[in-house]
Structures are given as C-alpha cells and as structure tokens.
Homo-oligomer: A and B are copies of this chain.
Amino acid sequence: MKEKLERLNAIIAEISDIGDATALLGWDQETYMPPGGAETRGQVSATLGRLIHERATSEEMGKLLEELVPWAESELDKDSDDYRIIKNSKRGYDQQMKFPAAMIEERAKLQATGNMAWREARQNNDWKKFEPIMDQWVDFNKRTAELFKPYDHVYDVLLDFFEPNMKTADVKAIFNAIRPKQVELIDAISKKPEVDDSVLHRAYDRATQLKMGEEIASAFGFDFNRGRQDEVHHPFASNLGYGDQRITYRVDENFLNPYIFGTMHETGHGLYEQNVPKEKHRTALYGGTSLAIHESQSRLWENLVGRSRAFWEWYYPTLQKYFPGAVGDVPLDTFYRAINKVKPSLIRVEADEATYNMHIMLRMEIEIGLLEGSMAVKDLPEIWNTNMQEYLGITPPNDSEGVLQDVHWSFGLYGYFSTYALGNLVSAQLWEKIKEAQPNLEDQIRKGEFKNLLDWLRENIHQHGSKYEPQELVQRITGSKINGDAYVKYLQTKYGEIYGL
C-alpha cells in the first residue's frame, strides 16, 4: 500500500508542477504580458488546465484512491500526514469527477464571455448587458449543485469549493448573530461627528510609497529572496510554488490607503504561503487551506496590526520623515482616526472594518436567493439598491457602483464572497489567542517587532498548509469553530474608543 501511496504522491507532484506553471502564466498575464499575447495565453492556460484535469481524474487516480481510502480509514492515524494526503486527494478527485467534460468547457467559455460582458456592462453602467450572463451562471450553478446531491442546502455545494465542509446554515447563523451588533455600532458612529480624513488624500509620491511598502513588508517578515512585489490594476497574491510567492500592488499618488494597506494585506497572504514548509510542496497538503483562513491572515496584518494605534506609534515618525509635506504637521491621533474612519460607502473593496461585512451579507443573501429561486436575476439592481439602503443607509447612484461593481459573478464565483467576511471573523478569533499567548503583543508592535507574532502564526497555521480543514483548524487553535464574537468585540472596543461611544 505504501507503493500505491507513493504513486499517488507522484501524480500529485506532477499536478503541482503544472499548477505552478499555470500560476506563473496567470501572474505574468496581470503584470507584464503585452496585450498581443492574450489569445495565446488563453490557449496555453487552457491546455495546462486540461493536463491537470486529465491527471486529477485519471483511471489510475481512481483506482489508487479506491484502495488507499479504506486502508487509510482502517490503518492510519487520522492526524497523520498520510491520512490527510489521501483524504484531500479523495476530496479533490470526487469534486473533479462529478463535473462532466461538457460542463467544464461550458464554464470556461462562460467565464471568457461573461468577463468581457461584465467589463462592458460596468464601464457603460448597463446592467442589461450583463443580465443574460448572470442568468446563465445561475442556471449553471443550479446544475452544479444537482451534481453534488444530496445536500442540506443548495448553496452548500458552492460554498464547499472555497471553504471545505462549511455549511450554509453555519454561515447564516454566524452572520445573523453579528448583523444586528454591527448595525448598532454603525448607527452609533453615524450620530457622532464625521472624522476628517483629508490627510490621506494629500500628495504621496510613488517612489517613497514603494520604499515604505517594501520596508513594512520586510518588517512583517516577508522574504524578498523568496518573493517579489509588482504593480497591477487589481492587486492579488500568487503562489508560484515553494520559494516563490508574489504579491502585487497599485499606487495612488493622491491617496495613501490603496498602496499601504493593500501591501499589508497581500503581504499577509504571502506570509502564509512563504511559511508552509518545503516538505509539503508538491503534496496534497501544500498551500493555504481555504479562502477564509487565507483572508484571516491578510486581514490580520492589514487591520489588526496595520490599522492599530500601536503600529503607528512605531511607524508614524518614519511616515512623517518620508512625507513631511503631507503629514509632517499632523498629529498621530488625527492620522490614526483618519485611517479608521467609519462611513457607509458604496464600494466593498473601499469599505472600512466596521461596514465591510455588511457588503458581504448583502451578496450572500442575493446568491442564496437566486439559487433558491426566491429572487430573479432581472430584479437584482432593485434588490441591491433596496438592501444597500436597508443595511447601510445609502443608495448607489448607478449600477456600476452597485450590483455591477465586483468581478466575481462574471467568472461564476458564487459562494466566494462569504469567505471575505469569515476571514475578518477568524482574524479576530486568532488575535485573542495570540494576545493570550503574548500579553505584550502590543508592546512588540509598538517597537516594530513582529517576529513573535509571525512565529505564532507559522506554528499554529502556516506550517500545516492545507492539512486541516478551516473549521477544524480554527477549533484546534481557539477551542471554538468560526464565529463572530471576537470580531464584534474587537470592533466595539476599537471604535468605541475612537468615537467615544
């Protein structure tokens, strides 16, 4: 049986190599590829995707798992790497096998045409242009759910692609628990005088921003010998295999936030992947375990660290030295309040910590409504605007800043959004445990020392790669499953102090 396991690992190693090459194709496409290369790039990516799919669904793979799974269940320690390798492989195999080849092709085509239609629709504020695509995706995702019957809830199937074993009922319960408390907090803040954040909209020259970002990423522990940072339109982090993690940024020379907090965010993703140990590379345990856990890392560095007073007590003098014109005469407290200004806004990716999750709940309700059939695609703009008014007290002036703002649906990514909010919640759950383990955490941050923090994350999260499913991992670390208590408490304390509630 050991030989069969070795053979399984060899197949996975090959899939991993092709996956690493595919990641480079994707990274290059967003960073340096000339426009003329787009068509060829599409062909090359499709071919590598097909090679991966062939291997992941081969007859050999099926036969190996048929023998290895019962053996693992009866013979192996459930906490052993080998057991988890077999389990993760089986999960991936089952998922891939359920998709008929025709649907994989259908999806690829719909992604291409869907994304093009979305770009045009958003640019021209023309929902009707995107509506037929959305109809097709709803139909496609309903059919996808059918492939995975039985399920407790139709939405479980889609959620599970991004958060293994997470259930719709669980996420709904979590969101239902935090929603009234977040609404209450937002209401209370709205009654206070609006914070002046004009300091963030001054002149911040590009070269100095880049220097600062590299300094901060390095201080957090990002290893530029095993990674790099490049400019793109829409920042992301990409894992090109062991020793090569790439983060990206965009710069606005008249607004400090996008680059600085974006860099902290992507650094968080990069640190996760950089600290998955080498022996997990080319195995079924490599890489972050889920989108929510990944987002817990990016949000932890961006918000829990990067938007904390302690961090800026350390870094603000440097910022003042770098940008004397913009912040030289601005007191730390004014700056700190500016970067933590809470104000309901239209665009999810620009939302503050207190309002962000509301944007997610809105999207999840729509996704569920569409799948359940209680909402119709044609009504989405109206539903969106009504719910924005209800949740955040504002109504988008047009669909481009409303229902058309995100790229995800154009690619058929349903069930993805909730992981952003779950990541926020997990980041606060982890933070409580870290503070228990390191009571002087804030003092460390105040001195610009992040080594112990990173060590804790490496020890508790990064080193495991994708060995543990997200709920299981959070349970192991915190003693509870994912829930919103810590995050709500964090928001209440932080913003209570800032706004004097």
Interface residues of A (CB under 8 A from B): 14, 17-18, 20-21, 24-25, 28, 32-41, 43-44, 46-48, 51, 223-228, 230, 240-244, 281-282
Contact = CB atoms under 8 A, between A and B. Distances in A.
A14 B46 CA distance: 10
Among A36, A46, A223, A242, chain B packs the most CB atoms within 10 A around the CB of: A36
Contacts of A244: 33-34, 36-37, 40-41
Among A24, A32, A33, A230, chain B packs the most CB atoms within 10 A around the CB of: A24
A240 B17 contact: no
A439 to B, nearest CB: 34
Nearest to A223: B36
A226 B34 contact: yes
B17 A47 contact: yes
Main secondary structure of the interface of A (DSSP, over half): helix
A48 B25 CA distance: 13
Nearest to A37: B244
A28 B34 contact: no
Contacts of A240: 37, 40
Contact of A24 (B25, B43, B226, B241): B25
A88 B38 CA distance: 28
Contacts of A38: 243
A89 B332 CA distance: 69
Contact of A44 (B34, B46, B226, B241): B241
A227 B35 CA distance: 8
B40 A241 contact: yes
Nearest to A20: B44
B48 A17 contact: yes
Contacts of A242: 39-40
Nearest to A228: B34
B227 A36 contact: yes
A241 B25 CA distance: 12
Contact of A40 (B28, B36, B224, B243): B243
A33 B228 CA distance: 8
Contacts of A241: 37, 40-41, 43-44
A328 B207 CA distance: 32
20 contacts: A17-B43, A18-B48, A20-B44, A21-B25, A21-B44, A21-B48, A24-B25, A32-B32, A32-B230, A34-B224, A34-B228, A34-B243, A34-B244, A35-B225, A37-B226, A37-B244, A40-B240, A41-B241, A43-B241, A44-B241
A337 to B, nearest CB: 38
A21 B21 contact: yes
A243 B51 CA distance: 23
Nearest to A40: B241
Nearest to A39: B243
A44 B25 contact: no
A48 B224 CA distance: 26
Contacts of A14: 47
Contacts of A46: 17
The 5 closest A-B pairs by CB, nearest first: A36-B226, A37-B244, A36-B243, A17-B47, A40-B241
Contacts of A21: 21, 24-25, 44, 47-48
Contacts of A32: 32, 228, 230
A14 B21 CA distance: 15
A397 B225 CA distance: 36
A279 B34 CA distance: 20
Nearest to A23: B44
